Amino acid sequence: MFIVQNYGEAIFFCIITMLCWGSWANTQKLAGKTWRFELFYWDYVIGILLFSILAAFTLGSFGDKGRSFMDDLHQADTGSIGSALLGGVVFNAANILFSAAIAIAGMAVAFPVAIGLALVLGVLVNYYASQKGSPVYIFTGVALVAIAIIINAIAYRRASANSRKVSTKGIVISLIAGVLMSFFYRFIAASMDLDNFENPAVGKMTPYTAVFVFSAGIFLSNFIFNTILMRKPLQGEPTNYAAYFKGKFSTHMVGVLGGLIWGVGNSLNLIAAGKAGAAISYGLGQGATLIAALWGVFIWREFRYAPRGTDGLITAMFLFFIAGLGLLIYAGI
């Protein structure tokens, strides 16, 4: 089993997580030109599950350190498995609302509001459960990120004044998704022995096994959450599974790619948590808000209708995000 050896390596993995979690939604934007997001979401979830299986039987099974995936799964107790499964259910409820928010309000809004809020609350939740890292730097970093979120909200309000894309519904859905998103990581972390990945306590799981069970929770709960959303969508007309199976192979693959990208980030983040601590690892991963904002502003041009002076607010938002993330990294040194 592959295990992170030092803090620097853990931070590197968290940065990759940031890039992955901040970029997967581009696949939704691409597929959304011809494909309902509820249908895209099925492919996305399948991609997450596929990567968890791939990682479990490769990085999670090769080498002479720790328990292999199958051995680890067999010895896991019901409490650990249940915790990781619940994490998947909570994440799916949050993420399907978050995906809806992207479709309604755009990446430049949904990411800072939902994931930014999830970062602030999630760091607090995870630090309370596993106090690793300097609380002064962690909470100061979180405060700077919170300021960045407020600045982004102000920038969006200015932009929406001259845009027909004003969506209070999108912002409300983003807030609900952010609150739910802040709790899923704690359930996964609780299923693992964060202090010893090489020889986890009996009943606890390695990151690879926890990610697989977590991903199974996402997939299974999707039959409930997404089916409901397909029949009673938050935007647009209802759709069905017949429409899903009529989709082009290339369209399906875009969604699967999105899930694979998110899955890479998720696995690396949990692998890094052993050295960085759950609060820092989660917080840096959710710095994806910064990456997504870059995509939304410069590639998708979601602030193109903004009045003069908005560019300064966007710049300030990025600077506060960078400063906050920098303090989170320094907190573990």
- Both structure tokens of 53: 């299986």
In a domain, residue 2? The reply is no
In a domain, residue 190? The reply is yes
Q: How many domains does the chain have?
A: 1
CA atoms within 13 A on the CB side of 153: 16
In a domain, residue 144? The reply is yes
> Distance between CA atoms of 86 and 73, rounded to whole angstroms?
16
- Both structure tokens of 82: 């249940």
pLDDT at 35 over 60: yes
Classified as helix, coil or strand, 205 is strand
The per-residue pLDDT for 163 is 54
In a domain, residue 92? The reply is yes
Confidence of residue 158 (pLDDT cuts 50, 70, 90): confident
Q: Global pTM?
A: 0.91
Stretch 94-107: mean pLDDT:
82
CB 80 within 8 A of CB 191: yes
Domain that holds residue 198: 7-330
Least confident of 24-38, 51-65, 204-218: 24-38
In the chain, % of residues over pLDDT 90 = 66
Stretch 167-173: mean pLDDT:
83
pLDDT at 167 over 90: no
Tell me which of 234 and 278 has the higher pLDDT.
278
pLDDT at 165 over 70: no
In a domain, residue 110? The reply is yes
63 class by beta-carbon count within 10 Å (0-12 exposed, 13-18 middle, 19+ buried): exposed
In a domain, residue 115? The reply is yes
Tell me which of 145 and 107 has the higher pLDDT.
145
pLDDT at 240 over 60: yes
In a domain, residue 1? The reply is no
pLDDT at 309 over 90: no
pLDDT at 145 over 60: yes
> Distance between CA atoms of 215 and 221, rounded to whole angstroms?
10
Total residue count of the chain as it appears in this document: 333
Stretch 115-121: mean pLDDT:
85
pLDDT at 171 over 60: yes
pLDDT at 311 over 60: yes
Stretch 115-137: mean pLDDT:
90
Stretch 117-129: mean pLDDT:
91
Q: How far is CA 65 from CA 74, 159, 191, in A?
A: 17, 53, 19
Residue with tokens 């998720």: 266
In a domain, residue 288? The reply is yes
